[in-house]
Copies of this chain bind each other. A is one copy, B any other.
Amino acid sequence: MATLYLIRHGLAAPREEYVANDTVRPLTEAGTEKTRAVAQRLKDFGLRFNPILTSPLKRAYQTAVILQQEGLGSLEIFPPLAPDGQLSHWLDWLGQQTLTDKTALALVGHEPDLSQWVEQLVWGDRNSEPGAEPLILKKAGVIGLTLPNQGSPVGTCQLFWLTPPRFLV
């Protein structure tokens, strides 16, 4: 079974300071440090991603660059990972990949989008009620899913990992 890791960007500068253009809001120094510690731990666990797809927004891209710098895999910007992006676009991308039991993919993006993608992948249509978020994915937190090598992953993935950074580093 292939695996899919979803990683939320690290702690970023205050939203109020980037009202004019949220897309360039960067990681803070503390956010960079914690993200690097998370990346190093993922590497220690033997994880490698092929590839790391990332949201084009600066705070996510910087997070993905840190993963790449720590040797976790190559990087590709994937615009549907920006806020309010649709899972269907990633499903189209996935349909063009060849998955094996050794395949490990990574997505770097934003909340609540990543949690909502996970809900669709694990439970199919059975999304939570609006406002009732079933999963808490902290900044620089990680989710791990099994991913079927063939066929639609919607409603067929299993959640084997969900961690905030504080239980990782």
Contact = CB atoms under 8 A, between A and B. Distances in A.
Contact of A159 (B132, B134, B144): B134
Contacts of A123: 123, 126, 128, 134
A135 B134 CA distance: 13
**Integer count of this chain's copies in the complex:** 2
Interface in A149-169: 155-156, 158-164, 166-168
B159 A135 contact: yes
A58 to B, nearest CB: 27
Interface string A108-147: 0000000000000011001010001111101000001010
Interface of A: 45, 122-123, 126, 128, 132-136, 138, 144, 146, 155-156, 158-164, 166-168
Contacts of A45: 166-167
A146 B168 CA distance: 18
Contact of A161 (B126, B128, B162): B162
B133 A158 contact: yes
A75 to B, nearest CB: 23
A100 to B, nearest CB: 20
Given A163-B163, A163-B167, A158 B136 contact: yes
